[in-house]
């Protein structure tokens, strides 16, 4: 059985006061559930990670980062390494989020290096994949997602793969209010699991958690989670409102 996992990606939102108050409100709302019934993580902007780690130190809510650089240290102005994130108490890191693929123009090779470096540095990467609306309309979803998955995981041993969580986030569903139907999410996510089974082995593929992300709200969380290959939710906008995020967490377990 895969333990459900709900993560809130705060993106470039909050400030020093609201990041701490949001984390505290989430902790108060799900204290008994987090770690027991499901895994919960919040993913603040880099600069608020330490404060949020401090706020959540007595809870079972994990903290993640939204990105990482693949080099360990050195002259890489502006970048943050996995060992730095680990050092300040991060457990997870997003790799290949669609906003980094499409706005910042990260490619699969760079994302693959980040996934690998994250694991080497002791972090648990959440590798995000997903198609654009044009690609879905052209019936290319399977091809695009498979390609992102194969390239994102290239060279990763079975042992390393077990540190990875996957997230299917169709780009057209992110921040648009257009959620994928539960059937659409299930179709892609079961295809992803089959591909993993071909790339590695069936048991490992069975153990990997695959999250769905894209306009997840309190009223669609349970039905998305009812799908056999939807093991959790990666929440953007709704994770910025504690009552919505708490409702989503409760619906997911
Ligand atoms: P929204 O929930 O705002 O659509 O964002 C999803 C997302 O990108 C999470 O990483």
**pLDDT per residue as tens, the chain (253 positions):** 899 999 999 999 999 999 999 999 999 999 999 999 999 999 999 999 999 999 999 999 999 999 999 999 999 999 999 999 999 999 999 999 999 999 999 999 999 999 999 999 999 999 999 999 999 999 999 999 999 999 999 999 999 999 999 999 999 999 998 999 999 999 999 999 999 999 999 999 999 999 999 999 999 999 999 999 999 999 999 999 999 999 999 999 9
Q: Separation of 33 CA from ligand 1 center, angstroms? A: 22
Q: Residue 89 C-alpha to ligand 1 middle, in angstroms?
A: 23
CA distance 236 to 252: 15
From the CA of 215, give the closest atom in ligand 1.
4
Q: Please give the Cα distance from 102 to 96 (Å, whole number).
A: 10
pLDDT value for 250? 97
213 lines ligand 1 (CB under 6 A): yes
116: Cβ below 6 Å to ligand 1?
no
Decide: 235 in ligand 1 pocket, CB within 6 A: yes
- The residues facing 43 across adjacent strands are 9
Residue nearest to atom 5 of ligand 1 (CA): 236
Q: What is the 3-state secondary structure (H, E, C) of 37-85?
A: CEEEEEECCHHHHHHHHHHCCCCCEEEEECCCECCCCCCCCCCCEHHHH
Report field, pTM of the whole predicted structure over 0.75? yes
Centre of ligand 1 to C-alpha 121, Å, is: 26
Q: Are strands 92-95 and 210-213 parallel, antiparallel or unpaired?
A: unpaired
CA distances from 211 to 19, 79, 81, 190, 208 (A): 24, 27, 25, 11, 10
Tokens of 148: 């992102």
Secondary structure class of 202 (helix, strand, coil): helix
How high is the pLDDT of residue 172? 97
Q: What is the pLDDT of residue 68?
A: 98
Task: Give the Å distance between the CA of 73 and the centre of ligand 1.
Answer: 30
Please tell me the predicted confidence (pLDDT) of residue 1.
85
Would you please indicate which residues are annotated as catalytic (active-site) residues? 97, 169
What are the angstrom distances between the C-alpha of 98 and each of 3, 67, 127, 160, 175?
25, 12, 10, 23, 11
């Amino acid at each position: 059985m895969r333990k459900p996992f709900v993560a809130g990606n705060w993106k470039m939102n909050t400030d020093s006061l609201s990041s701490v108050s949001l984390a505290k409100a989430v902790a108060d709302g799900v204290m008994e559930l987090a770690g027991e019934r499901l895994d919960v993580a919040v993913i603040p902007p880099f600069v608020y990670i330490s404060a949020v780690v401090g706020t959540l130190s007595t809870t079972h809510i994990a903290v993640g980062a939204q990105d990482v650089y693949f080099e360990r240290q050195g002259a890489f102005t502006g970048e943050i390494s996995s060992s730095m994130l680990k050092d300040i108490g991060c457990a997870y890191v997003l790799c290949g989020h669609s906003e980094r693929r499409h706005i910042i123009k990260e490619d699969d090779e760079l994302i693959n290096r980040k996934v690998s470096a994250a694991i080497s540095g002791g972090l648990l990467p959440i590798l995000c994949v997903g198609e654009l609306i044009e690609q879905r309309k052209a019936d290319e979803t399977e091809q695009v997602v498979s390609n992102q998955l194969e390239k994102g995981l290239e060279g990763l041993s079975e042992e390393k793969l077990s540190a990875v969580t996957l997230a299917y986030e169709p780009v057209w569903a992110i921040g648009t209010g257009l959620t994928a139907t539960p059937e659409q999410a299930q179709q892609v996510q079961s295809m992803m699991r089959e591909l993993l089974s071909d790339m590695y082995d069936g048991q490992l593929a069975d153990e990997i958690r695959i999250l769905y992300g894209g306009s997840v709200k309190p009223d669609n969380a349970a039905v998305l989670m009812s799908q056999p290959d939807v093991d959790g939710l990666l929440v953007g906008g709704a994770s910025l409102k504690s009552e919505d995020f708490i409702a989503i967490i409760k619906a997911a377990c």
